[in-house]
């Protein structure tokens, strides 16, 4: 399983990639949605994990950009946010986000969500 992690905080992205890599996932990272879309075009990706607040587009807009591409219309997206709210989660779900995870991240919960999203 291949996962694309899009986060402007590269230390966060690398930490997630390392953690998920230790559990058998191949991870790609991108610092923003623009490079994330480029990576999607060049790699076989089964899941996207994206931060909410980023330059160029927020995670929900990025999800919509992904799903607008016919090849990725059903690609699962996990949104990570430091702004926990039911309204945000509801908005994300209406816009195509499969799941929302709040910071600080519980890595075991993330692992469960990744397993659920990729099976």
CATH number at residue 94: 3.40.50.2300
Print the domain residue range for 30: 2-117
| Residue-wise pLDDT tens digits, 62-83 | 999 999 999 999 999 999 988 7
What are the pLDDT digits (tens) for 77-114?
999 988 766 676 566 667 777 788 888 889 999 999 99
For residue 117, count other CB atoms closer than 10 A to its CB: 19
Nearest one of 3, 8, 117, 1 to 58, comparing CA atoms? 8
| pTM of this structure | 0.91
Cα angle 61-55-102, degrees, rounded to a multiple of 5: 65
What's the number of domains the chain is made of? 1
């Amino acid at each position: 399983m291949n996962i694309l992690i899009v986060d402007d905080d590269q230390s966060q992205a690398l930490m997630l990639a390392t953690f998920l890599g230790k559990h058998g996932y191949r991870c790609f990272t991108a610092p923003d949605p623009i490079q994330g879309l480029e990576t999607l075009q060049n790699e076989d990706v089964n899941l996207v994990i994206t931060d909410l607040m980023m330059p160029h587009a927020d995670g929900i807009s990025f999800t919509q950009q992904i799903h607008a591409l016919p090849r990725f219309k059903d690609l699962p997206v996990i949104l990570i946010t430091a702004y926990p709210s039911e309204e945000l989660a509801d908005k994300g779900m209406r816009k195509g986000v499969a799941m929302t995870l709040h910071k600080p991240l519980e890595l075991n919960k993330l692992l469960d969500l990744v397993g659920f999203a990729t099976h």
